[in-house]
C-alpha cells in the first residue's frame, strides 16, 4: 500500500462486510481478489503513461472521500439547467441517489416482452452477469486497478438484458444524483442479444463534494445496436471516474456521446473491442470547462478482427485555468484487414491560463487499412470576431456564436435527435454563466 486514499478504500471494504451484493458465492471471492489487487497497485499515478496528465492520487487524497450514506428523505435536485434537461423526454427512468437505487423516483413500468431490467444484486448469480463483471481486457491494463476498486466496492447498479430481435420501446434514462458528500461505487451491465436495440441516456448531477466511481460493461450480440448519450454536470468539488468496456459481435453498432459541463476532476475511460467482423463503434463527445476544472478522456478502440469501422471525435472549449486531456489509441491487430479507424480532438482556449494536452495514437499491425488521427488547439479567430462585429453583433454575442458553431460539429454526432437540441441549449447557457 503506497498511498493514503487507497488505504481509505481498503478500510471502506473491510467495514462494508456482508452488506454488499453477492456476499456469498463467487462474487464474494472475486471481491476479495479485487481489493487485494487494488491494495497492491494503489491508485494510478502520473508515472504511468496512461495517467501522466491526471493526478488522481492527489485529488482523492486531498478530498478524503468517506463512503456516501444511504439517502433518507426527499431528493432535491441541484438548481441547474442540466438537472431537468432530459425530464421532458418520454423514457423509462431509473434514479440512483448516492449510488443506490431510489425506487420511489424510478419509473420503468410495462417494459416490452423480452426486455429484462434488474438491479445489480438480483443478477450477480446469473452466468451472463458473471461473465461481464469478471472479464479482462488486455488493452485496459493500466485502468485495471480502477475497475478492481469498483468490483470490490460496487454497492448497486442497473442490469439490462434484451433478448434476440427485441427493441426497447423508448430510451432508458439513468439518473445519478449526489445528494450527500461521499464516495459511491456503481456497476451497470448491458447485454443486447442478436438483433436487439436500445437507447440509454445518462445524467450525472449533484451539488455535493462526491466521488462517483462507475463501471459499465456492455456486450452486443450480432447486429445489435446500442445508442448511449451521457450528460455530466456535477459540482466543482466532485471527482468523477467512469469506465466503459464494450465488446461488439459481428455487425453490431455502438454509438456513444458525452457532454461534460461540470465537475472538478473527471476521468472518462472507454475501451471498445471488436469481436466480430462488420461492426461499427463511435465514441464522441464535447466539453465546456471553466475555473479549475479538469477533464480527461481516455479511449482505446481495439480492431481485433477484419472489416470494422470506428470513429472518435472530442471537441472542447476551455476558460479560466481549466485543463483538458485527450488520450486516444486505435489498435489494428495483424489479421484486422479492411479496418477504417479515425480519431480527432480539437480544443478552443478562451483564456491564456487554460491548457490542453492531446495524445492521439495509431498502433497498426496490418497493411490494408484506412486510419487517421489528428489534434488541433487554438483560440477564437480575431478576424471572425471582427467580421461579426462589423455586422452589428456585440462582441460577447459574436464569441458565443463562434463557440456554439465550433462545438456543434461534435454535438451533431450525438445519436439522439432531442438530446442534440438539449445539448445546444446547455452549451449556450454555460457560455452565458461563464461570462466568456
Does residue 109 have a pLDDT over 80? no
Of 34-43, 52-61, 131-140, the least confident: 131-140
Tell me the pLDDT tens digit for each residue of 312-367. 999 999 999 999 999 999 999 999 999 999 999 999 999 999 999 999 999 999 99
All 3 cell numbers of residue 425?
441549449
Sign of CA dihedral 113, 118, 122, 127: positive
Task: Convert the pLDDT of each residue in 167-185 to its tens digit.
Answer: 999 999 999 999 888 999 9
Helix (H) or strand (E) holding 28: helix 26-41
Please give the mean pLDDT across all residues of the chain: 91
pLDDT higher than threshold 50 for residue 203? yes
Tell me what pLDDT residue 76 has: 72
Instruction: Go through 270-282 and write b for each residue having 16 or more CB atoms within 10 A of its CB, e for each that does not.
Output: bbbbbbbebbbbb
pLDDT above 90: residue 122? yes
Q: Please give the pLDDT value at position 1.
A: 43
Does residue 12 register a pLDDT over 60? Answer: yes
| Tens-place pLDDT, residues 285-313 | 999 999 999 999 999 999 999 999 999 99
**Position 435 confidence tier, pLDDT thresholds 50, 70, 90:** low
- Average pLDDT rounded to a whole number, residues 18-22: 84
Query: What residues does 210 pair with on adjacent strands?
Result: 182
The Cα–Cα gap between 213 and 194 comes to: 30
| 15 burial level (CB within 10 Å; 0-12, 13-18, 19+) | exposed
For residues 229 and 262, the model is more confident at 229
Lowest mean pLDDT among 61-70, 214-223, 274-283, 370-379: 61-70
Q: Which residues contact 267 (CB under 8 A, 6 or more apart)?
A: 54, 56, 240, 241, 242, 296, 297, 298
Is the pLDDT at 142 greater than 70? The verdict is: no
Amino acid at each position: 500500500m503506497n498511498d493514503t486514499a487507497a488505504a481509505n478504500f481498503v478500510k471502506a471494504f473491510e467495514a462494508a462486510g456482508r452488506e454488499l451484493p453477492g456476499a456469498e458465492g463467487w462474487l464474494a471471492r472475486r471481491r476479495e481478489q479485487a481489493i487485494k489487487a487494488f491494495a497492491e497497485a494503489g491508485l494510478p499515478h502520473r508515472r504511468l503513461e496512461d495517467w501522466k496528465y491526471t493526478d488522481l492520487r492527489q485529488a482523492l487524497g486531498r478530498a478524503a472521500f468517506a463512503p456516501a450514506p444511504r439517502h433518507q428523505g426527499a431528493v432535491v435536485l441541484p438548481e441547474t439547467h442540466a438537472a431537468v434537461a432530459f425530464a421532458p423526454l418520454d423514457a423509462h427512468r431509473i434514479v440512483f441517489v448516492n449510488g443506490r437505487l431510489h425506487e420511489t423516483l424510478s419509473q420503468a413500468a410495462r417494459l416490452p416482452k423480452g426486455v429484462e431490467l434488474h438491479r445489480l444484486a438480483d443478477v450477480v448469480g446469473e452466468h451472463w452477469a458473471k461473465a461481464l463483471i469478471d472479464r479482462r481486457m488486455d488493452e485496459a491494463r493500466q485502468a485495471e486497478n480502477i475497475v478492481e476498486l469498483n468490483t470490490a466496492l460496487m454497492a448497486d447498479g442497473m442490469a439490462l438484458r434484451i433478448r434476440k430481435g427485441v427493441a426497447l420501446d423508448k430510451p432508458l434514462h439513468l439518473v445519478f444524483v449526489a445528494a450527500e458528500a461521499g464516495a459511491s461505487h456503481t456497476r451497470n451491465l448491458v447485454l443486447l442479444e442478436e438483433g436487439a436495440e436500445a437507447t440509454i441516456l445518462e445524467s450525472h448531477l449533484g451539488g455535493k463534494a462526491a466521488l462517483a466511481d462507475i463501471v459499465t460493461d456492455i456486450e452486443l450480440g450480432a447486429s445489435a445496436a446500442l445508442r448511449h448519450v451521457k450528460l455530466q454536470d456535477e459540482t466543482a468539488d466532485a471527482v468523477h471516474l467512469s469506465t466503459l468496456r464494450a465488446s461488439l459481435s459481428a455487425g453490431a453498432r455502438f454509438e456513444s456521446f458525452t457532454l461534460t459541463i461540470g465537475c472538478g476532476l473527471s476521468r472518462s475511460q472507454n475501451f471498445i473491442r471488436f469481436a466480430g467482423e462488420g461492426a461499427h463503434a463511435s465514441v464522441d463527445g464535447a466539453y465546456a470547462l471553466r475555473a479549475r476544472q479538469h477533464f480527461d478522456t481516455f479511449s482505446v478502440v481495439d480492431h481485433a478482427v477484419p472489416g470494422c469501422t470506428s470513429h472518435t471525435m472530442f471537441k472542447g472549449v476551455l476558460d479560466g485555468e481549466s485543463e483538458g486531456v485527450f488520450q486516444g489509441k486505435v489498435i489494428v491487430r495483424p489479421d484486422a484487414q479492411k479496418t477504417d479507424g479515425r480519431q480527432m480532438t480539437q480544443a478552443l482556449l478562451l483564456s491564456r491560463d487554460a491548457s490542453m494536452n492531446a495524445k492521439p495514437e495509431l498502433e497498426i499491425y496490418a497493411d490494408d487499412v484506412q486510419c487517421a488521427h489528428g489534434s488541433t488547439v487554438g483560440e477564437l479567430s480575431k478576424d471572425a470576431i471582427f467580421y461579426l462585429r462589423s455586422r452589428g453583433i456585440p462582441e460577447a454575442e459574436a464569441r458565443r456564436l463562434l463557440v456554439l458553431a465550433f462545438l456543434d460539429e461534435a454535438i451533431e454526432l450525438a445519436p439522439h435527435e432531442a438530446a442534440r437540441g438539449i445539448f445546444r441549449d446547455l452549451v449556450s447557457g454555460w457560455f452565458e454563466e461563464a461570462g466568456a
